[in-house]
Chain A
Amino acid sequence: DAGITQSPRYKITETGRQVTLMCHQTWSHSYMFWYRQDLGHGLRLIYYSAAADITDKGEVPDGYVVSRSKTENFPLTLESATRSQTSVYFCASSERGFPTNEKLFFGSGTQLSVL
């Protein structure tokens, strides 16, 4: 199916463990983004990528690592999970980046709980 898919949908892990959230898009969009959504904070940008092999930090990058070896995939890794990383994570893609960014397509999210 065309679109942007995230996996897993739900994940429970323990502090200190490494966790990887997957994101795959079928539109060949150049730009991909990772956001986390927390009550009272809204969506905050973790990392973004303008193209394969090009990534950059967003607002809250600490404790996260990304890679983009292929245009369609943009995995997010929590190197050593902490409770403060309990959140809902959204991957998004867009055909164009700055300055318009007018249409972000979001996945359905991964709900991550760190115990």
Chain B
Amino acid sequence: QKEVEQDPGPLSVPEGAIVSLNCTYSNSAFQYFMWYRQYSRKGPELLMYTYSSGNKEDGRFTAQVDKSSKYISLFIRDSQPSDSATYLCAMSGRGTSYDKVIFGPGTSLSVIP
């Protein structure tokens, strides 16, 4: 079993839709949870960062962490064509592999105008 699982998609939604992206993980030592956005032929860029459980909101983006279920989510409200990208969840914590950030495989999102 991989440490971090993520549905690869592709996910296609109409402009204005609410998008839900999810990751599950197996290692309860993870404490720091991140979402990166990666446009085609570009490097990933940090979108959201949360520590432990709870919600964090930033504009149209909301990150949720449920440590009891080992499940994290990223919600995008009023999705725009510019949101079309691959979204990578990432996490880290003491005692995890190499004590460094572990990435999910990414979900490809297309927002259709």
- Which of A44, A45, A109 lies in contact with B41, CB distance below 8 A? A109
Of the 9-residue stretches B13-21, B75-83, B97-105, which lies at the interface with chain A?
B97-105
Chain A residue numbers with a CB within 8 Å of B101 are 45, 101, 104
- Contacting residues, chain A, for B100 (C-beta < 8 A): 33, 45, 48, 58, 98, 101
Are B32's CB and A103's CB within 8 A? no
Take A98-B100, A99-B92, A99-B99 as given contacts and tell me if A104 and B106 are in contact as well, using a CB distance cutoff of 8 Å.
no
Interface status of A53 (Cβ within 8 A of chain B): no
| CB-CB contacts below 8 Å: B81-113 with A | 88, 92-94, 97-101, 103-106
The total number of A-B Cβ pairs within 8 Å is 66
Bound-state CA distance A42–B103 (Å) is 6
Q: How far is the CA of A33 from the CA of B8 in the complex (A)?
A: 24
Query: Is A102 interfacial (CB-CB < 8 Å)?
Result: yes
A102 to B34, CA, bound (A): 7
Contacts of A101 in B (CB 8 A): 32, 92, 100-101
A binding-site residues for B, Cβ under 8 Å: 33, 35, 40-45, 48, 56-59, 90, 92, 98-104, 106-109
26 contacts between A and B (CB under 8 A): A42-B4, A42-B6, A42-B104, A44-B103, A45-B100, A48-B100, A56-B98, A57-B98, A58-B98, A59-B97, A92-B43, A99-B31, A99-B93, A99-B94, A100-B92, A101-B92, A102-B32, A103-B49, A106-B43, A106-B44, A106-B45, A108-B41, A108-B42, A108-B43, A109-B41, A109-B43
